[in-house]
Amino acid sequence: MKLSSANINVMVKACRKAAKTLIRDFGEVENLQVSLKGPGDYVSASDKKVEKILVEELQKARPNYSILSEEIGLIKNDEEFKWIIDPIDGTSNFLHGIPHFGISIGLECRKEIICGIIFDPIKDEIFTAEKGNGAYLNMQRMRVSSRTKLKDCMIFTGGPKEESEKSELALEEYKKFSSKISTPLRKMGSASLDMAYVAAGRAEGFFQRNLNYWDIAAGIIIVKEAGGLITDYSGNSDYINNRIIVATNEHINQDLVNLINN
């Protein structure tokens, strides 16, 4: 079984085409032209090239849809449908030759993400999901893990960036988590892949502050359709506006929220 809707096919085609540039540039990472966008936040020539290809492909297939992308911002068209794009999630990994980064595209309809794709071009892994139709890894159905005890779980996190106003708070949460439980806490460097891995059952949870919409848009639908839960740090559903996310399997969400807050 696999997802084969028109929108999923459009996203897969766009990602496959953009990935050719990304894979080629990754092989010559030492020659990339890099400009400083902000402290700890780099944008490469590859980011811009990949974004250009994605935008062109998506506009060709759906010329009336709006687009929100990390580098170019908002292209406003149809207010009902909007593509949410992160051309390279894990740019720092990419620039340092670490093969853990992805292309992320979510499709929003009336303010709700209805389908998404996270594509890891180096491992050739495509995580996809569509509302009501499940989540898939390379066309095989995937589910979140069934572990129920937090002490047995793998948990991912990320950040904080140096300039973040919540950096000290995030560091305190990291230290609190590490001191209270022996659960492995991993910082992998790509929020979208962290969420994809939760959906695939490779990890049980992911939490992070100060994430942008394009970091998590595709991951939201992929985790949900894999049977997972997404909340903010209070266990509520306003994680997009709060820019705070907890993504877990169906068993440990409350335990993880409690641990973060206590």
Q: Are 39 and 163 in contact (CB under 8 A)?
A: yes
The Cα–Cα gap between 142 and 136 comes to 5
Of residues 8 and 163, more confidence is placed in: 8
Q: What is the pLDDT of residues 110-122, one digit of tens each?
A: 999 999 999 999 9
Calculate the dihedral angle through the C-alpha atoms of 231, 234, 238, 242, rounding to the nearest 10 degrees.
-110
The per-residue pLDDT for 231 is 95
| Structural fold of domain 150-261 | D-Maltodextrin-Binding Protein; domain 2 (3.40.190)
The per-residue pLDDT for 182 is 75
What is the C-alpha radius of gyration for the chain, rounded to an integer number of angstroms?
17
**Which residues face 207 on adjacent strands?**
157, 246
Q: What is the pLDDT of residues 198-255, one digit of tens each?
A: 999 999 999 998 899 999 999 999 999 999 999 999 888 888 888 889 999 999 999 9
For the cut 50, the answer to whether the pLDDT of residue 258 exceeds it is yes
Q: What is the pLDDT of residues 17-66, one digit of tens each?
A: 999 999 998 888 766 666 666 544 556 788 899 999 999 999 999 999 99
The Cα–Cα gap between 46 and 26 comes to 9
The per-residue pLDDT for 108 is 96
Q: Find the helix or strand (DSSP H, E) in which 71 lies.
A: none
Q: Are 142 and 225 in contact (CB under 8 A)?
A: no
The per-residue pLDDT for 39 is 46
**Which residues face 130 on adjacent strands?**
115, 134
Tokens (6 digits) for 144? 């979140």
Asked if 6-141 and 150-261 have one fold, the answer is: no
The per-residue pLDDT for 164 is 58
**Which residues face 209 on adjacent strands?**
244
The per-residue pLDDT for 14 is 97
Q: What is the pLDDT of residues 125-146, one digit of tens each?
A: 999 999 999 999 998 999 999 9
The per-residue pLDDT for 261 is 81
Residue type, 6: A
Q: What is the pLDDT of residues 158-196, one digit of tens each?
A: 876 655 566 777 777 778 777 777 777 899 999 999 999
The Cα–Cα gap between 228 and 225 comes to 7
Top CATH class, 6-141 = alpha beta
Q: Where are the domains of the chain?
A: 6-141, 150-261
